Amino acid sequence: MSSLFRLQLLGPVSLYRDGEPIHGFKSRKVLALLGYLAAEGRPISRSYLAELFWPDQPESRSRNNLSQALHNLLNLWPGCCEANHHAIRFCSTASTSLDLKGFNDWVGKGEVSTLAMAAELYRGDFMAGMYLDNCPEFEQWLRLEQENWRQRVTQVLRDLIAHYTQPNETEQALQFISRLLEIDPGDEDAHRQKIVWLAQSGQRSASLAQFEACRLYLTEELGVEPASETVQLYERIRSGELRHEAQISTANGNLSSAVSTPASFFYNNLPAQSTSFIGREEELTLIEQYLGKPACRLLTIIGLGGIGKTRLALQSAAAANGFRQGVCFVGLTSISSPDFLISTIASALKFPLYGRGDPKTQLIDYLSDKEMLLVLDNFEHLISGAGLLVEILQRAPHLKMLVTSRERLSLQEEWILDLQGLTFPEGDDMVLLENYSAVQLFLQRAQQVQADFWLRYLDKPAVVRICRLVEGMPLGIELAAAWIRTFSCREIVVEIEKTTIF
């Protein structure tokens, strides 16, 4: 029977064989190489890896060091990588357990129990404690990955916290709020939630102590004072105005007044983009025009997966004017059922659902006076729950929604923008290729992985062919451009023509 290998990257890098830890890595770079290949999950050229881990060595020596590191790795974990003269790829098999994949799989199921399982896999920062001397590009990659995974687990924890709203769920809510504060002790919203939950459960002293812990961290670590709503919450608990659940419930049975929104509220949680936005000038103008129409309250961008719906929505939302209280991005990929729509939207807004009140009523009441743009991303698997959007729009007259989906929501209120691929030459004219957005995207992404790449005349037909083969789809273009360190443009054409990935 084959051995079971378990690789943990969420926290200090750990490798186990049949439950026993594996030692014998000749250097930290061997361990770092394993983590890098497993996290990337795609073929990486040998020349890039050699430069990444031994940037101060001559090419021949750095490639030799890479071969020795790979040999050490394969001795400890036979079959963990596939390698040829050009590239190396991590291999995940039935006998491989990788926490990154487990996290994604659990989150993908979108149920409360599976989100909790995903959170359990996070033992600490991605590859915590890993440091390599004189490897600046690897260190930059590591910091970005750590921040990415930190953001992902905090979103999972916020989703879990938003699910628990009843007084008899105090223990579960406090458990996940405490986990969130361990990861991000400066999250003042989480501090307020914990303060309220403790007060709600009759733990007044602990609630006041939590405020003090929040104040100390903010002042000593971040150099700022607690927000006015946090101080007001503390004063209400200290004075006895808020003591326990029966006394802090509002007339409609929820605790939202304890963390009410100030009049000067402005919100923007749009995720930062690490790459440039290319093309789509016509679509951006159309979206601006649609959102400017009083009659257009719900605009859906529809298109195939990978066509660029999310990126276009984010770019449009970032440029949107006229929303006095900001923009809220709500990612829906991780939830599997419309039952989680309310808690997911509330979590994105950082609006805590509390008490015995109906969660939908709480959310709609909260949004009723907001002049905001809600961006609801990846709605296609939740269409049966689209009626919630209509209910919100009916009660929130100043709210608008920008939705991305692979298919229409089939709502009477819905306006449609059907998104196609980026522009590319239809004929054989190779003049002014750089004016086409598909070609621009390929060139920029290729230069990201190979800084000295430039479009030679002989490569132009191949680049055009690549853009045509993927029909201008941004995801396909980016996948193709990522191969530029391993293949020539003409070789990429051959690879696309014989693969099903695209």
In order along the chain (502 residues), what is the average pLDDT of each group of 10 residues? 87 92 93 94 90 92 95 93 90 86 87 91 93 91 90 89 80 92 91 90 90 92 89 88 48 40 64 84 94 95 93 92 89 85 87 72 90 95 95 95 96 95 81 85 90 84 92 92 89 83 54
**What is the pairing mode between strands 5-8 and 14-17?**
antiparallel
> DSSP secondary-structure letter at 26?
S
Domains of the chain: 5-98 (1.10.10.10), 136-259 (1.25.40.10), 277-418 (3.40.50.300), 433-498 (no CATH)
The 3-state DSSP class for residue 141 equals helix
E strand segments, 36-179:
44-45, 81-83, 87-90, 96-98
Take residue 482 and report the two structure tokens written for it: 């990522």
Which residue carries 């193709």 as its tokens?
Answer: 480
Element at 150 (helix H, strand E): helix 136-163
Kindly report the pTM of this predicted structure. Answer: 0.54
CA 24 remoteness from chain centre: 35
Q: Which helix (H) or strand (E) holds 235?
A: helix 228-238
What pLDDT shows up at residue 174? 92
Query: Whole-angstrom Cα distance, residue 167 to residue 202?
Result: 11
CA torsion angle for 110, 112, 115, 120 (degrees, to 10)? -160
Please give the pLDDT value at position 252.
Answer: 30
Q: Please report the pLDDT score of residue 473 as a whole number.
A: 94
Q: For the beta carbon of residue 393, count every other beta carbon within 10 angstroms.
A: 19
Long-range contacts of 223-232 (CB under 8 A, 24+ apart): 226/188, 227/188, 228/262, 229/192, 229/259, 229/260, 229/262, 230/188, 230/191, 230/192, 230/195
**In 3D, which of 131, 122, 133 has the Cα closest to residue 99?**
122
Contact partners, residue 57, CB within 8 Å, separation at least 6: 50, 65
The DSSP-derived string for 295-360 is T--EEEEE--TTSSHHHHHHHHHHH--S-TTEEEEEE-TT--SGGGHHHHHHHHTT----SSS-HH
Over the range 28-51, which residues count as b (16 or more CB within 10 Å of their CB) and which as e? ebbbbbbbbbbbeeebbbbbbbbb
Instruction: Give the model's pLDDT for residue 202.
Output: 86
Q: For position 201, what pLDDT does the model report?
A: 84
DSSP β-bridge partners for residue 82 = 89
Dihedral pair phi/psi, residue 393, rounded to 5°: -65, -35
pLDDT at 335: 82
Q: Dmax of the chain from CA atoms?
A: 78
What's the rounded Cα separation, in Å, for the pair 175 and 182? 11
pLDDT at 282: 92
Structure tokens at 486: 């391993």
Name 376's bridge partners.
Answer: 330, 403
Phi and psi angles of residue 298, each rounded to the nearest 5 degrees, phi first: -140, 110
